Amino acid sequence: MEIRHLKTFLTVAKLLSFNKAAEHLNYAQSSISAQIQALEAELGVQLFDRLGRSILLTEAGERLIQYAQRIADLAEETRAEIGGDRDPEGSLTIRIPESLGIHRLPPVINEFSNRFRKVRLNFTTCAHDGLQKDLRKGVIDLAFLLTDSFHAADLETELLGFESIVLVASPSHRLAKEKLVRTRDLKEDTLLLSTVDCSYRRLFERILEEEGVPLEATRIFHSVETLKRCVMEGAGITVLPEVSVSEEIKKRKLIRLPWEEGQLEVAVLMIWSNERWLSPTLKAFIEVTRTKGSWRRLDKGFVSVKPKESRLHHP
């Protein structure tokens, strides 16, 4: 069984496309197909179901992923250890909330890129669904999360800091002049929510559900910037990290509503699999993140990142 065949299999399994795998690995598509066929013949199983132009992993393919990843990791670890000290190279795929990507990570990316020019960084917007599975499979190498709770026994979780989550609206909104906005006051409003900033949206939805506020009048956005502009135009209200709306609040394009929940705080987590080998490249990025990230700490108190019943907030 050739390691290169396993690496090709992992790439195809990650992208679910022979064409994309060929582009990623700089192979001809015929070479990709030949390697997968050779691996299937050697194992005596079919690894992918071919459905027209689409492919899906078979049950055998799903089982092979963890073994192939362990073999690939061991080969890379051997090369790194036996080959001596070398600059990190290769690529990393990192999932990150859009707000952090815009306001917190640029110093990290700049420092890392200047120090490790051979490493290619691939960033994807953060979605909570499927995150744990993608980390275990190696679809992504590292993830950042804005959340009030998170726990998985086989994932390493590091608390980097905290972000304030605020309820904002247009200055012309009907609640703009209220001294106190109760959660039940939001029943008549259109809620604009993000899919790219992860779990704090779930916290907000839980609060609304507890107060009996219906979620039918909700608009979902795949861009925080588009969402903000719609709120500024008066299309509805939203919750966002304070760091992502501070300029708009300062310029009076948005206002922070005096919500009865007070100032919500969510943890900024960095997450990776503790069952996969930590490559020098990934270790380097984690270390730069720790030292160069502009993470906001709380003066007192601690937010658990394990499951719990109560939500995180300052009174």
Residue pLDDT tens, the chain, 315 long: 888 999 999 999 988 999 999 998 889 999 999 999 999 999 999 999 988 778 999 999 988 987 888 788 778 767 766 766 566 677 888 999 988 999 999 999 999 999 988 888 989 886 666 788 888 877 789 999 988 877 787 899 999 999 999 999 999 999 999 999 999 999 888 899 888 766 788 888 889 999 888 877 688 888 889 999 999 999 999 999 999 999 999 999 999 999 998 878 899 999 999 888 788 889 999 999 999 887 877 654 434 333 333 344 433
pLDDT of residue 76: 76
pLDDT of residue 307: 32
pLDDT of residue 305: 37
pTM of the model: 0.73
pLDDT of residue 86: 64
Rounded distance between C-alpha atoms, residue 162 and residue 101, angstroms: 15
pLDDT of residue 85: 55
pLDDT of residue 126: 67
pLDDT of residue 84: 60
Domains and CATH numbers, the chain: 3-82 (1.10.10.10), 90-161+267-314 (3.40.190.10), 163-264 (3.40.190.10)
pLDDT of residue 306: 36
